[in-house]
Amino acid sequence: MTCIKIENMSQYIQVTDDESEEPIEIPSEEDGTLLLSTLAAQFPTACGLKYRNPQTGNYRGIRLTDGNLHPPESHWGSHVYIVVFPKDNKRKGDEVTENISAKTKRVDQQKKCSDLIVLGLPWKSTEDDLRNYFSQFGELVLSQVKRDPKTGLSKGYGFIRFNKYDDQMRCMSQRHNIDGRWCDVTIPNSNEGAQHLVSRKVFIARCTEDIKSEDLKAYFSRFGEVVDVFIPKPFRSFAFVSFADPEVAQSLCGEDHIIKGVSVHVSYAAPKGTDRHGEKKVQMPSKGIYQQGGPPGWNPQHGQGNPGGKPGNMPEMNSLGMNFFNSAMLAAAQAVLQQQGWAPGGTPGAPPQGSSGDNAHHAASQPGSYSTSQGSASNWGWGQQSDSTAGGYQGWGGGATRQGGWN
C-alpha cells in the first residue's frame, strides 16, 4: 500500500494591500497554509487576509490559527487576497476610502510628473550633487548629468524627476543656485506645464543704443534682484531683464520708465520663438538670424570671466565710468517712480552668490568651451562690455532663459 504523496501543495498566492494595484505573489507552505510570517515579509504589519467573495461581492476573512492562514477551500484558488492590517480606531469604511483616495492621489501625482531638464549646471556637478540639491524639494526618482560619451565631461545640463507633482512645481517655480551657478529647471522641449507660471522676465522696448546692460541692471535693481539682462546684438532697440522674483517682473509690466533720459516701455516677455501677438516666428531654414548660412555661431574667444571686471554695485555708469544721470533726469525718474508708488532701493531676496571664478577654469578645459555665458551671477562683465564686438555676450548671470521656456 502505497501512500500517494501529494506533491508540493505549495502554490503562489496573489496578495495586495490595495485592490487598485498589482498583486504580489507569495508562496504558501507545502501543507497549503500560508504563514503569517511569509505575509509579513512583504507587508510588515499585516495581521490577516481577506478576499472578495465573487458571489456576494462581500469580503471574506481568512482563517488564522497559530500563525497559519488557511485557504478558504481546499486550495487558495485564483482570488486576489487583500492584506488586513490592525485597524486602530478607524471605522472600516473610512480607512478603505482613505487608502484608496490617498493612493489615487499618489498615482495622479506621479502621472503628472515628467522628467525635468536642468540647464546651466556647473561642469563639475555630478548626479549625486543634483540629488543632494534637489532633494530639498522632494523625493527624486531620477538624477542624471549628461556627459560627452568620449570624455565623460559634463555637458552642463541634466535631468531630474520627482515623484510628486507638487514637488515638481515648487522646484520649477524658482531658479536654483547650484554651487555658484544659476540653473533653471523646466520641462524639456515644451512649455506645457510651465504655462501657468509667471515669467520672471520682462521685455524692454524703445531702448537706445547707449542703454547698456549694466544700466538696465542698475536701474531695475531698485525693484528687486535682477538676475539677468540680455541685449540682442546687433542692436535692435529692445532688451530683456529677468528678476529673481516673478512678481516683481509682473508688477512692472505695462509701465514706462526713464533710463538715461530715455522713456522705455516694459511689457511681458513673450515666450521665446513667438512675437508679442503670440504668433510663431518662422525662420528660413538656411538663413539664421545670426550669420549667413549656418547654425548660430558660438564664439569661444569671447567670454570667460571678467578681465578687469568689477563686481558689486555701481551707480548709473557706463563702462567708461561716466555718470549718465544728470540731476534733472534723476528727479524726473524719481517723480515717475513715486507716482507709480515705487520705493526705490529695495532689493529683496538673496544677493547673487559669487564664488565662481572657478567655473571659468572648468569651462576653459571644456571641449568646445561654450562656457561664455556661464559667467557667475556676480560677474558684471564691465570689462567685456567696452571691447564688445559682434557676438559678444553681455549678460552676466548664467543664462536665465532657454529655448521654449518662460523664465
Partner DNA sequence: GTTGGAAAGG
The binding site for DNA (CB under 7 A) comprises: 114-115, 117, 119-120, 142, 144, 146, 155-157, 159, 186, 188-189, 199, 201, 203, 205-206, 228-230, 232, 236-238, 240, 242, 265, 267-276, 281, 289-290, 295-296, 298, 370-374, 393, 395, 398-405, 407
Interatomic CA distance for residues 13 and 39, integer angstroms: 10
Task: Write down the least CB distance from residue 207 to DNA, Å.
Answer: 9
Task: Write down the least CB distance from residue 160 to DNA, Å.
Answer: 9
Beta strand 80-84 with 12-16 is parallel
Task: Write down the least CB distance from residue 354 to DNA, Å.
Answer: 17
- Contact by Cβ (8 Å): 95, 74: no
Closer residue to DNA in complex, CB, 82/119 = 119
Closer residue to DNA in complex, CB, 115/255 = 115
Task: Write down the least CB distance from residue 238 to DNA, Å.
Answer: 4
- Contact by Cβ (8 Å): 258, 229: no
- Contact by Cβ (8 Å): 70, 64: yes
Task: Write down the least CB distance from residue 173 to DNA, Å.
Answer: 15
Closer residue to DNA in complex, CB, 22/275 = 275
Amino acid at 111: K
Closest among 256, 251, 276 to 266, alpha carbons compared: 256
DSSP state of 177: E
Closer residue to DNA in complex, CB, 297/344 = 297
Closer residue to DNA in complex, CB, 101/299 = 299
Long-range contacts of 335-341 (CB under 8 A, 24+ apart): 336/256, 336/257, 336/258, 337/222, 340/255
Handedness of CA 209, 315, 216, 353 (dihedral sign): positive
Interatomic CA distance for residues 131 and 2, integer angstroms: 65
Closest among 175, 263, 179, 186 to 219, alpha carbons compared: 263
Closer residue to DNA in complex, CB, 103/146 = 146
Whether residue 234 has a cis bond before it, omega within 30° of 0: yes
Supply the Cα-derived Rg of the chain in whole angstroms. 31
Task: Write down the least CB distance from residue 373 to DNA, Å.
Answer: 4
Closer residue to DNA in complex, CB, 28/168 = 168
Closer residue to DNA in complex, CB, 180/395 = 395
Closer residue to DNA in complex, CB, 28/199 = 199
Residue 391's Cβ-side half-sphere holds a number of Cα atoms within 13 Å equal to 12
Q: Residue 160: CB partners within 8 Å, gap ≥ 6?
A: 115, 116, 118, 130, 131, 134, 140, 142, 143, 144, 171, 185
Task: Write down the least CB distance from residue 143 to DNA, Å.
Answer: 10
Residue with the three cell numbers 555630478: 126
Residue with the three cell numbers 540653473: 183
Determine which helix (DSSP H) or strand (DSSP E) holds 161, and give its type and residue range.
Answer: strand 154-162
Closer residue to DNA in complex, CB, 37/299 = 299
